[in-house]
A and B are shown apart, each in its own frame.
Chain A
Amino acid sequence: MLRALNKTGLVFFPAFDWAIDPTHPEREERLLYTQDQVTEEGVFDISGIIEYKPEIVTPQDIRRAHFCVPDEKSITTESHLISAGGAKAIANAVMNKEVKNGFALVRPPGHHSMRVSHGGRGFCHINIEAIMVEYIRSRFGLKRIAVIDTDCHHGDGTNDIFWHDPDVLFISLHQDGRTLYPGTGFTGELGGPNARCSNLNIPLPPGTSSEGYLYVIRNCVLPVLEEFKPDLIVNSAGQDNHYTDPLTNMNFCAQGYAMMTSLLKPDIAVLEGGYSIEGALPYVNLGIILAMAGIDYSGVVEPDYDPDQLRQSVSITDKIKKTTDIVNAYWKERDELRQKAGTPGNFEIRHREIFYDTDNIFERQKENVRICRDCGGCFEIDSSATTGNHILGVHIPINACKSCIEEGYRLFDQADKTKFSQIILQDRTKDIYEIKK
């Protein structure tokens, strides 16, 4: 009889009644054929695979990861809340040890959503993985978490949310930002001064095939994970590296995805992008599910799969090796890089401009972070957007040291109410979110 080697939890929430707009890639039909394939294969009947109902996240859940402007309700729909709730349901199942691992097949996705969210960017409104990670840290007290983003687009939202966090290792594998949205995620982007190298970006050249992806996993991601020793591994499992994806230019396949999953052994996988809804998703999702459950996936092959056509060129292989070497070199020097990054107690300022392609919003940010060797450092973000909203968000990290907590409260208290539409304190040490009256 067919039995899962690992007890695996699944949340399947295709949101069949929600779309950004009727012809948008992020629309009702996106997971339809996946559902058909998974149902026809009898996946939910396999002994050891347990289907969970998604939950719905609360404003409190969102407020651990985001400053939503003007508020949570205005920039989300129920679908976003249930999608994030799907990830939360899987987190509960895994953390309560009901299952060994779990996969949330949910939509809409979230990994382009940054800490400050004024609306939709890259089809994302709130960051479903980040909300889940912060929930796990607050609810279950886990300290070190690794998020491996294998979506074809740079996971710039997750990258931003954990930019200053030395306890969350974020690694993104993606198509080179010079050739694809959002245009970021180069090797030199390593995280803030207090968290150098806890963000690793691995841009891959167009045309990368299974060989290239698995090379990076074996020669960079796994060794780094080995040294980071996370308490939990999360995979943002985007499926748009597939050779049939209409939005990207990569040559990954269902077998490759399944193998990558077996190598990474994520505790939790969360679906991100992937828009080849007929040719890729049904097979890739099935492959990932079987790999997580420890069931033979060798038969999961796209009907038109031809490995010879998808083989990557020697020059691509060389480029990937070089990129891997660069990233590995940074990782080896992480301690020195952190020591060199500024003087403790000082503040470092960063200016940024962010465009929300989905909702056509332009945002300017000024971020001010306290250099700290003992924690991720408190910081404030001054954010104004073309929507007319202008906020100041003060963040105190969950493992903050005493000085950063005090400094955070000082920033919040001294902020001038006349200058901002909202002044918000996000104190993760006490799990509070306070709007200045």
Chain B
Amino acid sequence: MIIGIDVGGTNTDAVLLSSSGIEKKIKEATDSADLFHTILSCFKKLLDGVDLNRIQRIVISTTLTTNAIVQQDMNPVGMVISAGPGINPEFFRTGDQYYCVSGSINHRGREKAPVNEMEIEDIAQKMKTAGIEYVGVVSKFCVRNPSHEILIKRILNKHFKKVFLGHHVSGNLNFPRRIATTHLNAGVFSLHKTFFEAVKNSLTQMGLSIPIQILKADGGTMSLESSMSFPGQTVLSGPAASIMGAIPYAPKKQDAIVLDIGGTTTDIAFLVNRAPLLEPMGIQRGRYKSLIRSLQTDSKGIGGDSVVRVKDKELIIGPDRKGPAMAFGGPEPTPTDALIVLGLMPEGNIENAVKGIHQIALELNLSDTDAADKIFKKCCSIILKKTFEMIDKINSQPVYTVHEFLENYKISPRKILLLGGPAPYFAKKIEELYHIKTIAIPESSVANAIGAALARTTCEISLNADTEQGIVTAHEEDFAEPISKTYSEDDLIEAAHTLLKEKAMNSGADPDNIDDVEVVEFQKFNIVRNFTPKGKIFRTKMQLKPGLIKGFETILLHP
């Protein structure tokens, strides 16, 4: 049996799944001041009367790190930044303890200026004096050559509890995002460690000692141990959990939209042949941009509790929420009130709902029912408009080869999968308005916990071979080997495959669930100097795609 728990901002959802379906499901209010208590209480309820030996897998998704960022409750972190030529690194300052140091590596990974060890020693003293315990070290182009980061770490190691290095974060180039991501990992590390060690100990005391898997923002899992180096990857795993929960209902070989309609916001995501689309670079939310692999989701300020108002005879919905719907004691009319007035939703206090909608109806010079219908339609059309805008944006992403330009895949969704409280009421209306097959997915209120429970391990590796310099590297994995001039693209792909499987197994993957490998990127170039070929550059990125573990998809499909 499998346990999936998704600790959300408002509610915590948990499920116990067996090969015959959902054994237990729980929804509890999240105690954001004590997430540990919330998780334990879920475990106790799920495991009550269950043979512990039958539990094979535990996956947890939490808002722990997300909360820490939002509430600015992170450890103070010292950052040592080696930039070399380019944009002034002061623009990416993370706080007081941010030091730009000498040394430079170029785009080929060649050292252009050395590290000044005295300077680093000096900075170490300053950071110690300031009470810093955790440090991030990031050098520009460290993914091509991490030697400066490693050297700086060697100097700092004895002074600090843990030193985080930029090149471990991702194989992708992007210095500012690498700084932000390294800072995040260092900043939430002790919180993450303390929390999950407590969870693990409590489970052990209950007699449950199987490894815990943690859900990441890319909809995949990692083992508790590997999460310790990259706690930042757990940010925004909540939306990922929901999207993963929609996969069993997505059509094969077609594109689908996933809409998670909540109270305040609606999350939008896409599935292509049942695999979620990933952000090309990493999570971004407003000004915050990172290299954390993530599903491509966007959160828009419209949901069941969005405020409905009339301004200059125009109906406006959201983006703010002032409380629950009036039918549930809130202060302002909302789309939920409209659903109740229309008789679609049999809950809440109908008189209060009517009272709210009536104000709007007066201002629009409509009957209550017409006003409610107008609100409902408008709400659907706002959600769909945002969705189509996102599709346009995804479809206009730049490409860099003639082949990709001509073969460019464009997503064109054939089905909409709805999640969240009001989902069943919206499904019919959206289908009627937009003529796209729309369903509210079964068990939609715990789909997120199901998604977490069934998510498989994901990972990505970036491998570069440079036959002129005679080396193949995946610095993210601390991998570097000499190669000959005759190293071929087949050699590269084979090496990448081996590394990927190793990484997956080290992250706690189940050997039965590591074959869905995809070559995300492959490039090769001749290196020519003075008109003679000097070697070749091969680059590849390979990933274990986000998806569900084998054998459990069918149990969820209801007739």
Contact = CB atoms under 8 A, between A and B. Distances in A.
Interface of A: 1-2, 11-18, 22-23, 25, 27-29, 32-33, 35-37, 39-43, 45, 47, 51-54, 56, 77-79, 82, 246, 278, 282-283, 286, 290, 295-296, 298-304
Which of A11, A40, A41 has most B Cβ within 10 Å?
A: A40
Interface in B143-174: 173-174
B173 A39 contact: yes
A11 B397 CA distance: 11
Given A15-B401, A28-B526, 12 more contacts: A1-B91, A2-B87, A12-B398, A36-B107, A40-B140, A40-B173, A42-B289, A51-B398, A278-B108, A286-B87, A299-B83, A299-B87
Nearest to B106: A303
A299 B86 contact: yes
A36 B527 CA distance: 15
Which of B87, B104, B106, B400 has most A Cβ within 10 Å?
A: B87
B531 A29 contact: no
Identify the 4 closest CB pairs spanning chains A and B, nearest first: A303-B112, A42-B176, A29-B525, A40-B173
Contacts of A1: 91, 287
A419 to B, nearest CB: 38
Which of B113, B141, B400, B527 has most A Cβ within 10 Å?
A: B400
Interface in B31-84: 83-84
Interface string B124-154: 0000000000000000110000000000000
B118 interface: no
B86 A300 contact: yes
B287 A303 contact: no
B537 A27 contact: no
B398 to A, nearest CB: 5
Contacts of A52: 398
B367 interface: no
Given A29-B525, A298-B88, A17 B176 contact: no
A299 B398 CA distance: 28
20 contacts: A2-B87, A23-B531, A27-B528, A29-B525, A29-B537, A32-B525, A35-B400, A36-B173, A40-B175, A41-B175, A53-B396, A56-B405, A282-B107, A290-B87, A298-B88, A300-B85, A301-B85, A302-B85, A303-B106, A304-B112
Contact of B525 (A28, A41, A53): A28
Nearest to B112: A303
B403 A17 contact: yes
A41 B87 contact: yes
Contact of B402 (A32, A51, A78): A78
Interface string B383-415: 000000000000011111111011000000000
B532 A23 contact: yes
A16 B87 contact: no
B402 A42 contact: no
Contact of B400 (A16, A22, A286): A16
Range class of the B interface residue count: 35 or more
B358 interface: no
B274 interface: no
A82 B402 contact: yes
A330 B432 CA distance: 71
A299 B523 contact: no
Nearest to A34: B107
Given A36-B107, A39-B174, A303 B401 contact: no
B541 to A, nearest CB: 13
B177 interface: yes
Contacts, number: 127
B157 to A, nearest CB: 26
Given A16-B523, A40-B175, A45-B289, A299 B88 contact: yes
A43 B281 CA distance: 13
B533 A22 contact: yes
A338 to B, nearest CB: 44
A249 to B, nearest CB: 15
Given A42-B175, A45-B174, A78 B405 contact: yes
A77 to B, nearest CB: 8
A326 to B, nearest CB: 36
A149 B526 CA distance: 29
A235 B404 CA distance: 28
Given A23-B531, A23-B532, A299 B402 contact: no
B176 to A, nearest CB: 4
Contacts of B399: 53
B194 interface: no
Which of A29, A300, A301 has most B Cβ within 10 Å?
A: A29
Contacts of A53: 396-399
B124 to A, nearest CB: 25
B486 interface: no
Given A41-B87, A300-B85, A79 B402 contact: yes
Nearest to B403: A17
A27 to B, nearest CB: 7
B400 A303 contact: no
B10 interface: no
Contacts of A2: 87, 91-92, 176
A2 B176 CA distance: 10
A22 B91 contact: no
Contacts of B107: 33, 36-37, 40, 278, 282
Contacts of B20: none
A28 B406 CA distance: 17
Nearest to B287: A1
A14 B92 CA distance: 28
B530 interface: yes
B110 to A, nearest CB: 9
A78 to B, nearest CB: 5
A32 B523 CA distance: 10
Contacts of A15: 400-402
A78 B86 contact: no
Which of B91, B107, B396, B401 has most A Cβ within 10 Å?
A: B107
Contacts of B400: 12-16, 35
Nearest to B86: A41
Nearest to A279: B106
A78 B406 contact: yes
A366 to B, nearest CB: 37
B54 to A, nearest CB: 48
Contacts of A51: 398
A17 B400 CA distance: 9
A128 to B, nearest CB: 15
A278 B529 CA distance: 10
Contacts of B398: 11-13, 51-54
Nearest to A282: B107
A25 B177 CA distance: 33
Contacts of A25: 531
Contacts of A304: 112
Contacts of A278: 106-108
A56 B407 CA distance: 13
A1 B403 CA distance: 36
A249 B460 CA distance: 45
Interface string B194-208: 000000000000000
Nearest to B531: A23
A18 B91 CA distance: 36
A22 B173 CA distance: 26
A344 B91 CA distance: 61
A82 B174 contact: no
Contacts of B527: 29
Nearest to A77: B402
Given A42-B174, A53-B397, A18 B537 contact: no
A396 B530 CA distance: 45
Which of A12, A17, A27, A304 has most B Cβ within 10 Å?
A: A17
Contacts of B173: 36, 39-40
Nearest to A295: B87
B68 to A, nearest CB: 21
Contacts of B405: 13, 54, 56, 78, 82
B526 A18 contact: no
A388 B176 CA distance: 57
